[in-house]
Structure 1
């Protein structure tokens, strides 16, 4: 079943962030650096994705600013964004299939690349190694196709 409601997004995002918070590579950005409270963060990020997918929510925040602050405290690399993308894809695929699910994955890839570039990532094509890592080069090549 496809992503079709805000409730679908809430379930998807709660599952994604539970995995992201627990992830040894990117989890510390949420838990240690930002000190993210999921109950506070979830309505905001749900607004973001509701607007991105359905054009219905009134998300008016600057999505880049908190990532820039994180990057200033501890640099975010292509490996971090690649892991975020991998977890995002796995979570979407584990719950949904259809045009909105595909759009959510594609949008996640675009966001990861845009954030990395804005943060000054010089070489998104070769960064990262390790188990389970999805290099952003693969995302970049797909985006260019």
Structure 2
């Protein structure tokens, strides 16, 4: 019997590491948000991966010792180049598509919802409490889960 890629829920750190590797591969390559990781932050994925896995392990399983400040690096990026509603929306789109491609179940849904809450909170904090989630082109921060992730040649 041939099973789909998304045949199980996120079960632990090994699943998180595989998920994060796939997500960051897509994010680094993305024309819209990739430069935040590659050009502005110069993210070293191998150095960053254990810390971000701790963050998600703590968020989903309450089992890791993550005590970092997730806001500070985003504030520094935003100072170098303002992050828009569209940038956060693209992050959410890639995050949800990556999870949907690998997992299904309550923890997968929790991870998608938590990612969206984080994006909304970061955008509000960086742009100001009254910031609109509407972007400059009118596209804004839309429910990207409803969109099909398309590959661009």
Give the match for residue 21 of structure 1. 28
In structure 1, C-alpha distance between the alignment counterparts of 2:135 and 2:142, rounded to whole Å = 8
Counterparts of 1:50 and 1:68, CA distance in 2: 23
**Contact 1:53/1:104 (8 A) holds in 2:** yes
Task: Please say if residues 50 and 57 of structure 1, whose CA atoms lie closer than 8 Å, have aligned partners that are also in contact.
Answer: yes
Q: 1:51 to 1:102 in 2, by over 3 A?
A: same
**Distance in 2 (alpha carbons) for counterparts of 1:52 and 1:129:** 33
Pair member with larger Rg: 2
CA distance in 1, matches of 2:59, 2:136: 28
**Shift, 1:129, TM fit:** 5.3
SS in 2 for 1:80: helix
The separation in 2 between residues aligned to 1:12 and 1:129, in whole angstroms, is 31
Equivalent of residue 97 in structure 1, options 91, 104, 115: 104
Structure 2 residues not aligned, in runs of 5+: 1-7, 145-153
Residue 87 of structure 1 aligns to a residue whose secondary structure is helix
Post-superposition Cα deviations, 1:79-113, rounded to whole Å, max 9, x if no partner, equal: 00000000000000000000000000000000000
Report the equivalent of 1:127: 135
Aligned to 1:116: 123
Preserved CA contact (<8 Å) 1:44 1:59 = yes
- Distance in 2 separating the partners of 1:40 and 1:69: 18
Matched residue count = 135
Give the aligned partner of residue 68 of structure 2.
61
SS state at 1:112 partner:
helix
Structure 1 stretch displaced more, 29-38 or 113-122: 113-122
TM-score, normalised relative to structure 1: 0.89
4+ residue segments displaced more than 6 Å: none
Cα deviation code 1:101-129 (max 9, x no counterpart): 000000000000000000015111x2265
Question: Which gives a bigger RCO, structure 1 or 2 (Cα 8 Å, sep 6+)?
Answer: 2
